[in-house]
Amino acid sequence: MEMWFSDEHTDNVKLSLRIKRQLFSAESEFQRIDVLESEDFGKVLVVDGDLMLTEKDEFIYHEMITHVPMAVHPDVKNVLVIGGGDGGVVRELIKYDSLEKIDVVEVDPLLVEVCRKYIPEIACSLNDSRVEIYNEDGLRFIRSRTSEYDLIIIDSPNPFGPGEGLFTKEFYGNCYNALRDDGIMINQNESPFYEEEAFQCQRMHKRIVETFPICKVYQAHIPAYPSGHWLFGFASKKYHPLNDLNGVGWKLRGISTRYYEPRLHYGVFALPVYVEELLRDVE
Amino acid sequence: MEMWFSDEHTDNVKLSLRIKRQLFSAESEFQRIDVLESEDFGKVLVVDGDLMLTEKDEFIYHEMITHVPMAVHPDVKNVLVIGGGDGGVVRELIKYDSLEKIDVVEVDPLLVEVCRKYIPEIACSLNDSRVEIYNEDGLRFIRSRTSEYDLIIIDSPNPFGPGEGLFTKEFYGNCYNALRDDGIMINQNESPFYEEEAFQCQRMHKRIVETFPICKVYQAHIPAYPSGHWLFGFASKKYHPLNDLNGVGWKLRGISTRYYEPRLHYGVFALPVYVEELLRDVE
């Protein structure tokens, strides 16, 4: 039997993966959730028809959204992860013994349950004693928090669907308030390549630039995501992503990774000319 | 009407582009050549069913294979391009007034003819007076050349089909001999992500490491290519790709680009941990 899952990158471009079997499918209160087993990418989490993560390359996304700020901020104790019900960001965070509290705000309890059952290699990290999961709307959760976190990671799917509110200026302002005076906010910032995503990417950057004094965008090669060229936003109240890197300190922690290393740190912030121009237009 | 072209990245992964129309299709003595007009990637050149280049992202490949060595070598006069019948590398090379001679060895005259007719935006550069096109086998051409070139760019499709001989140790040895004492050789080095390509990538690197004293691999984000994470090999007799970069000198030439800038130069050589490990295994 031939079975293929196609992730639509645009109306005119799609990436298709050969599927061995569908492991799970259900509609939650918020969205449709599927887990597929693919030939080349291992298990694949699909939400509302969009590829969220694959077993083969999720390490790239999760390492890059986590270790880049952790190698800069000298003393992270309290972290907030918005979205991230799959546990990938938390798996990277718990590698740091010095962290004291990790709050995860995932609106959809079914997503967490499904990930725990079908991708335990990733989701098992959610059992760490420092982790608290809030099944709440991220936008509402953040409104009531002030000067509480050293690091906020916005691991939101995309600017459509239930996560839409996580891409507004109001939301970024609330994140700013929820951060301590030397806090850092990281967001997944879409891809700069296809027109519609490039526009989202620009819009997000504009709103963050209007909220935080220090804002830089960095990149990673994530093969399963549209165009494979993925951006992240580094927004900060005090620490500069390059000038305040403590690569030696990070290496001394002995954290094991497969993509990130401080050796890469400057390079991931060196964006191609066309991406720089896209972002500069709104700075 | 729905028409899609699919580029097989592996037996189990494919990237599909919606096609407006097929502009050309023929079998040459060497291979099947198609030119398609796609919705999102503009014109697409397909050889033996494999995507060779797209109008939308070819600038990334061609800039990165050309400007990286040109920003390092202080005095390039004679260049050899092996493959490259589409003219993309030559279009970047002719931006340098100081170049005196560009030899292009493209085994298939039909490929050159088709590119001239259907993608003149790229191929028109082949009319530059410094360019000489040899419709010969690259492997045979290079055997008779000694200390002739400052830069050799191997713009070969892949290690299968008619270009197979361009991936052997004998071939790299002949390139070494065809280079002057301070010459540089650049090759497209496949992607490190999918298993089969990662193996090719490793094998190529091994053969080059055995031939040249200085060998470093660098990367670019090329969305239409498998995994979007593409590697290039920088092999050199004298100049080091990082220590001998002359970024200021390059900027002073006033060359216009959309991806490369010396600002990116160090970053593109900073490879992810898993790629470093893949290459280190054969060094």
Task: Convert the pLDDT of each residue in A223-251 to its tens digit.
Answer: 999 999 999 999 999 999 999 999 999 99
Q: Mind listing the pLDDT tens digit for each residue in A115-158? A: 999 999 999 999 999 999 999 999 899 999 999 999 999 998 76
Q: Mind listing the pLDDT tens digit for each residue in B96-122? A: 999 999 999 999 999 999 999 999 999
C-alpha span between A83 and A112 (Å, rounded): 10
pLDDT for B109 equals: 96
- Portion of chain A with pLDDT greater than 90, in percent: 91
pLDDT for B123 equals: 95
A4-54 with A58-280: one CATH topology? no
β-strands A4-10, B149-155 pairing: unpaired
Query: Which of B47-51, B153-157, B208-212 bottoms out in mean pLDDT, i.e. has the lowest?
Result: B153-157
pLDDT band per the 50, 70, 90 thresholds, residue A254:
very high
- Tokens matching residue A238: 């005090």
Per the prediction, chain B carries an average pLDDT of 95
Q: What's the whole-number mean pLDDT along residues A31-35?
A: 97
C-alpha span between B228 and B160 (Å, rounded): 20
pLDDT band per the 50, 70, 90 thresholds, residue A163:
low
* Chain A residue at shortest CA distance from B261: A273
Q: What are the residues facing B6 on neighbouring strands?
A: B16
**DSSP per-residue codes, B221-232:** E-TTSTTSEEEE
pLDDT band per the 50, 70, 90 thresholds, residue B57:
very high
Residue whose C-alpha is closest to residue A178's, from A243, A237, A262: A237
Give, for B262, the enclosing helix (H) or strand (E): helix B262-268
**Residue A18 Cα, gap to closest chain B Cα (Å):** 5
Q: What are the residues facing B214 on neighbouring strands?
A: B236
C-alpha span between B31 and A247 (Å, rounded): 50
CB contact under 8 Å between A227 and B219, yes or no, is no
**DSSP per-residue codes, A120-172:** HHHHGGGGSTTEEEE-S-HHHHHHT--S-EEEEEEE---SSGGGGGGGSHHHH
- Portion of chain A with pLDDT greater than 70, in percent: 98
Q: Mind listing the pLDDT tens digit for each residue in B227-270? A: 999 999 999 999 999 999 999 999 999 999 999 999 999 999 99
Which amino acid appears at position B170 of this protein? E
Q: Domain coordinates of chain A in residue numbers? A: 4-54, 58-280
Q: Mind listing the pLDDT tens digit for each residue in B177-219? A: 999 999 999 999 999 999 999 999 999 999 999 999 999 999 9
pLDDT for B162 equals: 60
pLDDT at B164 over 80: no
Domain A58-280: CATH class, spelled out: alpha beta
pLDDT at B23 over 80: yes
B146, with CB counted inside 10 A (0-12, 13-18, 19+), is exposed
Is CATH 3.40.605.10 what the domain over B58-241+266-280 is classified as, yes or no?
no
Q: Mind listing the pLDDT tens digit for each residue in A44-63? A: 999 999 999 999 999 999 99
The interface residues of chain B toward chain A in range 26-45, judged by CB-CB distance below 8 A, are 38-41
pLDDT band per the 50, 70, 90 thresholds, residue B159:
low
Coil, strand or helix: which one is A56?
coil
Q: In the 3-class helix/strand/coil scheme, how is chain A assigned residue by residue?
A: CCCEEEEEEECCEEEEEEEEEEEEEEECCCCEEEEEEECCCCEEEEECCEEEEECCCHHHHHHHHHHHHHCCCCCCCEEEEEECCCCHHHHHHCCCCCCCEEEEECCCHHHHHHHHHHCHHHHHHHHCCCEEEECCCHHHHHHCCCCCEEEEEEECCCCCHHHHHHHCHHHHHHHHHHEEEEEEEEEECCCCCCHHHHHHHHHHHHHHHCCCCEEEEEEEECCCCCCCEEEEEEEECCCCCCCCCCHHHHHHCCCCCCCCCHHHHHHHHCCCHHHHHHHHCCC
Q: What are the residues facing B18 on neighbouring strands?
A: B4
Q: What's the whole-number mean pLDDT along residues B43-63?
A: 97
Give, for B125, the enclosing helix (H) or strand (E): none
B50 catalytic? Reply is no
pLDDT at A162 over 80: no
Give, for B253, the enclosing helix (H) or strand (E): none
Interface mutation target, options B195, B221, B242, B257, chain A, most CBs of A under 10 Å:
B221
pLDDT at A165 over 80: no
Domain B4-54: CATH class, spelled out: mainly beta
Q: Rounded to 5 degrees, what are φ and ψ at B103?
A: -95, 130
C-alpha span between A146 and A181 (Å, rounded): 10
Q: What's the whole-number mean pLDDT along residues B70-88?
A: 96
pLDDT for A175 equals: 97
pLDDT for A134 equals: 97
Per the prediction, chain A carries an average pLDDT of 95
Is the CA virtual torsion A109, A110, A112, A117 positive or negative?
Answer: positive
C-alpha span between A115 and A223 (Å, rounded): 21
Instruction: Confirm whether residue A156 is marked as ligand binding.
Output: yes
C-alpha span between A145 and A140 (Å, rounded): 10
- Portion of chain B with pLDDT greater than 70, in percent: 98
- For residue A10, list chain B residues with Cβ-Cβ distance below 8 A: 40
Residue of B264, B269, B273 lying closest to A258 (CB–CB): B273
C-alpha span between B104 and B116 (Å, rounded): 14
pLDDT at A168 over 90: no
